[in-house]
Amino acid sequence: MDLSVIIVTFNSSPHIEGCLGSVFGHLEDLDHEVIVVDNGSEDETCGIIEERFPEAVLIRNGFNAGFARANNLALRRARGEFVLLVNPDTAWKKGEVKEAIRFMKDHPGAGALGCRLLLEDGSRQKSNGNFPTLTRELKETFGLSRLFPQSPWMKGVYLYEDSMYPRSVDWVSGTFFLSDRRLLAEIGFFDERYFMYYEDIDLSRRIRDRRREVYYYPRIEVVHHQKWPVTIDFGESPYIYFTTYFGSHVAEMLRYILVLKSLLRLVVFFPLVLIGGKRVYREKLLSNYLTLRFHLFQASRITKRLRVER
């Protein structure tokens, strides 16, 4: 079998029909399977899949197992030579997956591939970047990577410059993630300690540790109908990542950087709320207030626990 497409859903009824219709429309000439793992949706997600896409394999988890664990469940039963992870709130805009597979076959060192992600308004979403370090997190905090996107000394975690051609990067987003199934099996799939976020960065890092390349492939464009939750926060995921690769002491230092980042954003959005009062500003103000509280009062317990577990 050429390809296994894996989609993890959770209350995805607004977009799952468009997503699956888009996916199936790009699988011609490929021997394929589509596996959907539902993380305990309470809406019509499963009903839509069963009624309109009976050819898809639906696995009901019955509870929210998180992104990494749910993907691993499907990866262990996937039969394709390649696997493509796709978010349920996406829709294909251009490009063909068979061309991306051909690109990976023509580049034997390729271990994973991600596409160009666009938001509904046509703007580009961050879909690839540099591996996180304390220095890069500081650059992101003060916006240096945005102010000096061409400077090799100012690159943060995310890459802001775009390219018309495929290129090697540190990591690509799990929103659209094409890889060799056997390679993923060799490195143990996703680290299930990550409930959501950073699991794609961690997986990309382990792929590159195997001396395989991770490619940004802009010839495929996918629209991401992303709806941020009220709290825009990565939770304990950054602390898991930094503890794993840099040690618990560095993870504790990260906490102060993330506190500073939240404070600076509060300083920015508070006057905007007073002056303009737009809903987006109010949501961002609330989000960063909750994020600040998380890093001030909960993160210390997380770093202590991770230090003991390590």
Mean pLDDT, rounded, of the chain:
91
Indicate the domain borders of the chain. 3-224, 237-309
Q: What is the pLDDT of residue 176?
A: 97
Would you state the structure tokens that stand for residue 63, as one six-digit string?
């509870």
Quick one: pLDDT band at residue 230, thresholds 50, 70, 90? Answer: very low
pLDDT band at 279 (very low <50, low <70, confident <90, very high): confident
Helix (H, G, I), strand (E, B) or coil at 23: helix
pLDDT in tens, 154-187: 788 887 677 889 999 999 999 999 999 999 999 9
Q: Quickly tell me which residue has 């978010």 as its tokens.
A: 87
Enter the tokens of residue 118. 């666009």
In DSSP notation, 237-304 reads: HHHHHHHHHH-HHHHHHHHHHHHHHHHHHHHHHHHHHHHT--HHHHHHHHHHHHHHHIIIIIHHHHHH
Instruction: Give the mean model confidence (pLDDT) for residues 295-300.
Output: 91
> Among residues 186, 159, 213, 172, which one has the least CA distance to residue 85?
172
**Rounded average pLDDT over 84-109:** 96
Question: Is the model's pLDDT at 239 over the cut of 90?
Answer: yes
Residue 52's CB is within 10 A of a number of other CB atoms, namely 12
Mean pLDDT of 270-289: 82
Residue-level pLDDT at 157: 86
Yes or no: say if 8 and 41 are a contact pair by the CB < 8 Å rule: no
Least confident of 93-97, 126-130, 206-210, 232-236: 232-236
DSSP annotation of 32: E
What is the rounded distance in angstroms from the CA atom of residue 209 to the CA atom of residue 145? 25
User: Average pLDDT of 209-216?
Assistant: 97
Report angle CA 216, 124, 117 to the nearest 5 degrees.
50
pLDDT of residue 46: 97
Query: How many whole angstroms separate alpha carbon 163 and alpha carbon 306?
Result: 38
Query: Which segments of 1-66 does DSSP mark as H helices, in order?
Result: 16-24, 45-52
Q: What percent of the chain has pLDDT over 70?
A: 97
Chosen CATH of 3-224 out of 3.40.50.2300, 3.40.640.10, 3.40.50.970, 3.90.550.10: 3.90.550.10
Which tens digit of pLDDT belongs to each residue from 104-118?
999 999 999 999 999
List pLDDT tens digits, range 28-47.
Answer: 889 999 999 999 999 999 99
What are the phi and psi torsion angles at 57 (to 5°)?
A: -85, 120
DSSP labels for 56-118? Answer: SEEEE-SS---HHHHHHHHHTT---SEEEEE-TTEEEEE--HHHHHHHHHH-TTEEEEEEEEE
Cβ partners under 8 Å of residue 88, min gap 6: 7, 8, 9, 12, 15, 16, 19, 45
Local structure of residue 29 (DSSP, 8 states): T
Q: What would the mean pLDDT of 280-308 be, rounded to a whole number? A: 88
- Phi and psi at residue 178, to the nearest 5°: -105, 130
